[in-house]
Amino acid sequence: MKFDIAFMFIALKAALKYTPITLILAIIPLIIGIFMGTFVAVARLFKIKILGRVLQFLVVTIKGIPLVLQIIIINFAVIGYIDFLSDKYKWTFASKDINRVYIVLIAMTIFSIVNISETIRGALTAIDKGQYEAAYSIGLTRMQALKRIILPQAFPVAVPVLCNNFIGLIKGSSLAFVISVTDLMNGALITATSNYKYLEAYVASAIVYWLICVAIEKASVILEKHLNVYRKEEVI
């Protein structure tokens, strides 16, 4: 079998065309995941009565479900609920009118919140307990200590793992094909449906994924160096 380099560039062009969809499916869940994941991590870390236990149960449960299944389950749940309401209230709007990108965004966001919450929780536990005690000793409340002292030190610790979370979201977005959403990889594969040159299409999409991941890695290194000014300097 001869590898068609010319066709690979055709597939590469198609993959680049759909790259914004892949970035949207990763960046939005990342941003929401950082904010909501931090809240979940704090609630679990400080064992807030009922909320902490509920969130712990949800995190453990969702972590055990593959992303592809989360996408499929949420898709059928949303479709079923929308069609039920449409039939009940005689709406002109039905599940067929829903852009499936939004369904994937919901699934990816839930996936992101759960995984990032674990990242943030690990970073928070890495901060020496003396930092908390020092904050309380000068009259800061728990929330003030978190905002002014603990989180600024925890985020630089979390950046490398957050980078991996982001890369995981980029790669996980390729599962959007299960509900007919065309992203980077599936855009490349469409070009191969007429000539069956799927190897070239897969290689083209792999190149784009690799370039995106390299860019993320470089950006994370720069961000980590910038945030290191907030980290506690160890006195030797």
**Domain, as residue range, for 134:** 5-230
Read off the CATH number of the domain in which 212 is found: 1.10.3720.10
Give the CB-side neighbour count of residue 154, counting CA atoms within 13 A. 27
Q: Say what the pLDDT of residue 235 is.
A: 35
Gap between the Cα atoms of 30 and 24, Å rounded: 10
| pTM summary value | 0.90
Integer Cα distance of 12 and 135 in angstroms: 53
Choice among 44-53, 171-180, 204-213, 223-232 with the minimum mean pLDDT = 223-232
pLDDT digit string, tens, across residues 114-123 = 999 999 999 9
CB 94 within 8 A of CB 134: no
Contact of 191 with 199, CB cutoff 8 Å: no
| Closest residue by Cα to residue 169 from 204, 123, 209 | 209
Is the model's pLDDT at 234 over the cut of 80?
no
Whether 236 is covered by a domain: the verdict is no
CA distance 39 to 130: 22
**Is 235 part of any domain?**
no
In Å, the largest CA–CA distance within the chain is 72
Residue 12 lies in a domain: yes
Domain membership of residue 186 (yes or no) is yes
Give the tens place of pLDDT for each residue, 58-92: 999 999 999 999 999 999 998 889 988 888 888 88
Assess contact for 127 and 150: CB atoms under 8 A: yes
Provide the pLDDT for residue 231.
56
Is the Cα torsion angle 45, 51, 107, 20 positive or negative in sign?
A: negative
Note whether 102 and 153 are within 8 A (CB).
no
Distance CA 18, CA 188 (A): 8
Nearest to 175 by CA among 96, 111, 79: 111
| 146 located within any domain | yes
User: Structural domain tally of the chain?
Assistant: 1
Query: Would you say 18 and 174 are in contact if contact means Cβ atoms under 8 Å apart?
Result: no
Could you write out the DSSP letters of every residue in 35-68? HHHHHHHHHHHTT-HHHHHHHHHHHHHHHTS-HH
